[in-house]
């Protein structure tokens, strides 16, 4: 009996995790990536305990931990540097069984690729059309290099997916969240220690997280119209950080100009009616793009990948039925997190002095006097476990 064949649209973290999950279940996999080379942006990524459990289910978690620096779940300061709330590594391990791991996106991509056959990835391959198929017909994927027949198609081409609108014509698609995000990996000698965490200001946040080696991962957000950039993003960002607590401006000033990555934030604010159609499954940002405020974009894509592989059984005729189970398992959870992340974004991107003062005061009270409320807030995010048989 021939191996079942899956075509994955998109070679990002979600697509590669899905490729690994399916390959481990006996699927032949083809990943179609439109970029000429797989070259992830040189930025950092924070993986919460739920994401690490998904990687553990794929026997990749320990390798990721080796390439990561450990961080806690919540360390937040005001713009002037005063702490709002803070949790430590020991407390994070006690509550969640693991810490947050921070690593370069390229390192995570390498971990996944090392576990896949080299023949899986097809770069410079743009998907132009997908016919979803049904119980009697396989799906058909049209690329600029030819056509592929597939027992399963996984759409993992991001928040601005080109395939999703063809599958769900009535859906409004991703909408602009109203703010942009700057990210950079910055050289920083280990002998000059930093206090890691996120800081909240008016109309945006800024953060610095640890990485292995003499570098740190920095990011900042700001309210701005979509598509409006600056000729010198580094200079504009350093000016923006000028009245934030030290060393935020100094950190971004130490970045190479080409290391500053700016990305407008889009999210799928209206849930899709389903995460599947025929033999096609949507995964990660293509299904449920969310703002970065919960740090769950990659984690939810990894959960998707593990659950998709779990729900697909050995009978190719019943793939559409299996995908219905995948939708039932994933749509309620991810829809709730999209909305929770949007609510947090609305709070931290608010530029009203009064509202930001009330926000910071309330968060500080919770952190100091009611830590159980903080645990209750993060528990639905982190308290996810993969199926035991994975």
State what percent of residues in the chain have pLDDT above 90: 82
pLDDT in tens, the chain (390 residues): 578 999 999 999 999 999 999 999 999 999 999 999 988 888 999 999 999 999 999 999 999 999 999 987 778 999 999 999 887 667 667 766 678 999 999 999 999 999 999 999 999 999 999 999 999 999 999 999 999 999 999 999 999 999 999 999 999 999 999 999 999 999 998 888 899 999 999 999 999 999 999 999 999 999 999 999 889 999 999 999 999 999 999 999 999 999 999 999 999 999 999 999 999 999 999 999 999 999 999 999 999 999 999 999 766 778 999 999 999 999 999 999 999 999 999 999 999 999 999 999 988 887 776 666 766 777 788 889 999 876
- 177-216 as b/e: b if 16+ CB within 10 A: bebbbbbbbbebeeeeeeebbbbbbebbbbbbbbbeeebb
Distance CA 112, CA 109 (A): 5
Is the Cα torsion angle 326, 328, 329, 333 positive or negative in sign? Answer: positive
Q: Which CATH architecture has domain 5-81+105-174+268-349+366-382?
A: 3-Layer(bba) Sandwich (3.50)
Domain boundaries, the chain: 5-81+105-174+268-349+366-382
Q: Render pLDDT for 93-123 as a digit per residue (tens, 0 to 9).
A: 776 667 899 999 999 999 999 999 999 999 9
Q: Cβ distance 203 to 351 under 8 Å?
A: yes
Instruction: Give the residue carrying structure tokens 């709002």.
Output: 84
DSSP helix/strand/coil, 140: strand
Q: Cβ distance 113 to 15 under 8 Å?
A: no
pTM recorded for the entire structure:
0.95
């Amino acid at each position: 009996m021939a191996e079942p064949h899956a075509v994955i649209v998109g070679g990002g973290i979600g697509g590669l995790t899905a490729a690994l999950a399916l390959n481990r279940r006996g699927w032949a996999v083809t990943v179609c990536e439109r970029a000429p080379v797989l070259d992830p942006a040189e930025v950092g990524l924070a993986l919460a305990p739920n994401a690490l459990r998904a990687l553990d289910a794929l026997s990749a978690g320990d390798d990721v931990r080796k390439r990561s620096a450990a961080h806690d779940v919540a360390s937040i300061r005001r713009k002037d540097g005063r702490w709002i709330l803070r949790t430590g590594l020991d407390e994070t391990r006690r509550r969640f069984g693991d810490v947050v791991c921070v690593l370069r996106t390229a390192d995570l991509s390498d971990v996944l690729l090392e576990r896949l056959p080299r023949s899986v990835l097809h770069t410079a391959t743009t998907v132009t059309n997908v016919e979803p198929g049904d119980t009697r017909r396989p799906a058909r994927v049209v690329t600029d290099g030819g056509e592929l027949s597939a027992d399963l198609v996984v759409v993992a081409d991001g928040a601005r997916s080109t395939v999703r609108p063809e599958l769900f014509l009535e859906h409004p698609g991703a909408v602009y969240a109203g703010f942009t995000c700057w990210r950079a990996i910055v050289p920083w000698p280990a002998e000059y220690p930093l206090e890691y965490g996120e800081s909240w200001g008016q109309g945006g946040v800024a953060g610095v997280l640890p990485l292995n080696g003499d570098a740190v991962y920095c990011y900042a957000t700001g309210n701005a119209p979509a598509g409006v950039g600056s000729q010198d993003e580094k200079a504009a960002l350093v000016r923006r950080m000028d009245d934030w607590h030290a060393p935020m401006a100094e950190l971004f000033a130490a970045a190479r100009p080409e290391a500053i990555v700016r990305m407008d934030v889009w999210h799928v604010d209206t849930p899709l009616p389903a995460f599947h159609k025929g033999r096609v499954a949507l995964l990660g940002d293509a299904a449920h793009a969310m703002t970065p405020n919960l740090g769950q974009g990659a984690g939810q894509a990894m959960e998707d990948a593990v659950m998709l592989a779990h729900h697909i059984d050995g009978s190719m005729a019943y793939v559409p039925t299996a995908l219905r189970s995948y939708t039932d398992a994933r749509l309620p959870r991810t829809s709730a997190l999209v909305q929770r992340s949007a609510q947090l974004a609305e709070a931290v991107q608010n530029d009203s002095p009064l509202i930001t003062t009330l926000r910071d005061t309330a968060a500080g009270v919770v952190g100091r006097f009611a830590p159980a409320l903080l645990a209750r807030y993060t528990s639905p995010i982190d308290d996810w476990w993969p199926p035991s048989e994975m």
